[in-house]
Amino acid sequence: MRNQNQPVALEGYPFIGLFAFITIVFGLLGWGFLTFVMFALTLFTVFFFRNPERLIPDEPGVVVAPADGKVIFVGEVDEPRCLQGRAVKVSIFMNVFDVHVNRFPCDGKVIDSFYNKGAFLNASLDKASLENEQSGLLIETEQGHRILCVQIAGLVARRIVSYPEVGDVLKRGMRYGLIRFGSRVDLYLPVDAAVRMRVGDRTVAGETVLCTLP
């Protein structure tokens, strides 16, 4: 699995290299203001693709946040695509200043996946859950619980990256993908999960406990 130890996500290297190259060219041409702008953009790109280490909780039966960001929805909904029934949805919105490397929410096996092309609405809108470009993983734990984790592209995001394939077994907190430049992640949990988060709470991917499974 990619990006398990790198301090900067590998997907950011082409952007960082391009902006750094343009910075050097502008500097050699003596274009001071443009050099400063491109240097700042290079630094921001390094910052955006940062991939910090996290302290993964070892408490049994917990599900951790798959993304850094702000909780914008917690509630029971219908999930007809993979779970085919009621589920508790927790939506986490990532702005451009949040870490965008996503982490696996629990120990489990990927038993299904999907990718849907779509629109690029503001990821904080409710209808982005269904209409935006998205990639989903259906996870089954050893206890038989099924959890759906969906990466959703945002207003300026144009690329979802998801590494796992059906059949892969991952551990809680492992990096499993990212979304470039603003987005959200929806997590669909069993209705009897004991959710610990409320709307407005901030999450840290791999560290913040979202719920305890029954």
What is the chain's pLDDT, residue by residue, as a tens digit (214 residues)? Answer: 777 888 999 989 999 999 999 999 999 999 999 999 999 999 999 999 999 999 999 999 999 999 999 999 999 999 988 999 999 999 999 988 999 999 999 999 999 999 988 666 655 566 656 667 889 999 999 999 999 999 988 665 557 889 999 999 999 999 999 987 668 899 999 999 999 999 999 999 999 999 999 8
183 catalytic, yes or no? yes
What pLDDT, on a 0 to 100 scale, did the predictor assign at position 51? 95
What pLDDT, on a 0 to 100 scale, did the predictor assign at position 116? 85
Residues contacting residue 15 through CB under 8 Å, at least 6 positions apart: 45, 49
What pLDDT, on a 0 to 100 scale, did the predictor assign at position 122? 58
Q: Which of 91, 135, 162, 183 is the catalytic position?
A: 183
Measured distance CA(205)–CA(74) in Å, rounded:
17
What pLDDT, on a 0 to 100 scale, did the predictor assign at position 133? 83
What pLDDT, on a 0 to 100 scale, did the predictor assign at position 153? 83
